[in-house]
Chain A
């Protein structure tokens, strides 16, 4: 097993407030995070939720107004950025325009006063790692966006930092290149064994790349967990809504039986649902069901839910079907097109919906 339990970064009750008086902005409040060694850890959240602010606190460009940050158990507050064994891949890369690709990559080591031969070898290693050997003598203005991204990665990795911070490094790239670079980043992380703290507002990217994800909103961490936990077991409405597509249904709690709860939907059907450990559900609750966890069927009296197809969207691999329920809300289903040809339903059809075992989850509001 990988030695993963040692903590690389501990964020303890960190807050950051800008300005004072009426114009005060709370960018972060009461953040607790434990980031393990060798982990690919992602900060995910909408624009303005404080992701960059948190990275800047870790890098040392800015200072918390509350709490402390530990790097391998030591408080890093007294260290200026140039003494922290932490490097950053900036959102806009921030490559030095007056230097070549190789000079950019070697800059950190040069500043650390390493011998010339060591720098040269390391730069070659890094160029090979990011497949940029052919471009070593170009100025950074003479290479493409994707190539700049790789140089920025190589430059940050060259001094072998303990932790690498990546602030939306892929957001400027087009879809295909982004997919390639996602694979590349994962590969580099596995090869170097460096702890990555990766920032994105793209949930798909977060799910694809991370060991664990912290979902943030309005300067707070809403949930931390493995991608499947975040996706399948969202703790609260914000997380469920932000990650992927979701159906929300109102329900009443009937009985609690260990990890399972029996609820009654508005049409009277009974359903078993799971719930977050820190919640004691009672009375009216919201349950969440992912679109791929429900299936269409011909109408039957034993079905969990019934309704009428509002519209269908054919997406190649799947079809999205929106079903109007009797209480007038819409329920989205994603059905895989695992057979050739039309799926056999059309708009206006009366249908019933079956919900997969264990798919329903109760939310904190």
Chain B
């Protein structure tokens, strides 16, 4: 290559790069305005002092962050761990993980079933999966409430059948929250799983059977490693909204079984402590971030890499 052509090539390359930046500018602006901006505002609020009727006073204060994990006794000023907050964070993480696992257990066979239908039937099944999305989450929550309350459908049927003599308390328990969360988040698991399973080459499954793998071994050694990207995507899509669930624990958990979403809402509402609410929100973001990093790293280690 001569010097001239080399120069021309590098000029063309530079132009190409500028063009690429220009083309992606709208997306970058949108990300800045819609994602980074609000986050910065929340971060800023978390280091300001609370106003007496909500809002914030424009002075720097560590109160918000201090109160996330610690609490100062009003009478003798001793500092202790904020048990309630830690408990709620822990409960939320636990319920979100269980929800994710249950969604995976229920969603995998569902997605496999759809992916193994004849191509022209698949869209009907997918359509059915997405129907619940059309209804307001509040209404779906109340529907579940109606079914599991003490005089509700489930208890009535169980009592009529003579399986139980007195109603079981299902509403306002962790069971109720989990039921609601699995129901609400299931499509978010099924859709990415389906996308992966649909791309799965079923001849590989046959090859597995041919090489003496039983059905369970084929599932474990061939199907799951190959659809791992779908499993990861589905788990992330379920875990994040499950962790910060607000409506479902509110309706089905009653007042007592709070999740972190309700706790945050409380600070901006009755609690009138916006900096604490903001600090809790950022804490949640950080937890999600670390959970995802850990999960993706460990899930990626054992194979896959095949979308």
Contact = CB atoms under 8 A, between A and B. Distances in A.
Contact of B211 (A80, A92, A108): A108
Interface stretch (A94-102, A115-123, A263-271, A291-299): A94-102
A81 interface: yes
Interface residues of A, number: 25
Interface stretch (B1-9, B27-35, B212-220): B212-220
Contacts of B248: none
B201 interface: yes
A107 B38 CA distance: 52
Looking at B206, B212, B217, which has the most chain A CB atoms within 10 Å of its CB? B212
B211 to A, nearest CB: 4
Contacts of A98: 225-226, 303-306
A81 B226 contact: no
Contact of B207 (A83, A90, A112, A159): A90
A331 B292 CA distance: 75
Interface in B179-203: 201, 203
A96 B222 contact: yes
B282 to A, nearest CB: 38
A111 interface: yes
A81 B305 contact: no
A90 B203 contact: yes
B210 A88 contact: yes
B206 A82 contact: no
Given A92-B203, A111-B217, A159 B226 contact: no
A351 interface: no
Nearest to B210: A88
Given A87-B210, A88-B210, A97 B203 contact: no
Contacts of B304: 98
Interface in A8-62: 59-61
Interface in B226-257: 226
B175 interface: no
B207 A88 contact: yes
A82 B222 contact: no
Contacts of A95: 207
A61 B305 contact: no
B286 interface: no
Nearest to A62: B206
A155 interface: yes
B212 A108 contact: yes
B164 interface: no
Given A98-B303, A98-B306, A81 B210 contact: yes
A99 B303 CA distance: 8
B213 A82 contact: yes
A83 to B, nearest CB: 8
B235 to A, nearest CB: 19
B133 to A, nearest CB: 33
Given A94-B204, A98-B303, A98-B305, A61 B222 contact: no
A159 B208 CA distance: 13
Contacts of A61: 206, 209-210
A87 B211 CA distance: 7
Nearest to B207: A94
A94 B305 CA distance: 17
Nearest to A56: B206
A111 B213 CA distance: 5
Contacts of B213: 82, 107, 111
A2 B76 CA distance: 100
A118 B303 CA distance: 24
Contacts of A82: 209-214
A98 B222 CA distance: 8
Contacts of B306: 97-98
B212 A112 contact: yes
B167 to A, nearest CB: 47
Contacts of B206: 61, 81, 88, 90, 94
Contacts of B207: 88, 90, 94-96
Interface in A92-144: 92, 94-99, 107-108, 111-112
A80 B226 contact: no
A112 B214 CA distance: 10
A87 B209 CA distance: 10
Contacts of A112: 212
Given A61-B206, A81-B206, A82-B211, 13 more contacts: A81-B209, A83-B212, A90-B203, A96-B207, A96-B208, A96-B222, A97-B306, A98-B225, A107-B211, A107-B221, A112-B212, A155-B211, A159-B211
8 contacts: A61-B206, A81-B206, A81-B210, A82-B212, A82-B213, A82-B214, A98-B225, A111-B214
Interface of B: 201, 203-204, 206-214, 217, 221-222, 225-226, 303-306
Interface of A: 59-61, 80-83, 86-88, 90, 92, 94-99, 107-108, 111-112, 155-156, 159
The 3 closest A-B pairs by CB, nearest first: A108-B211, A94-B207, A111-B212
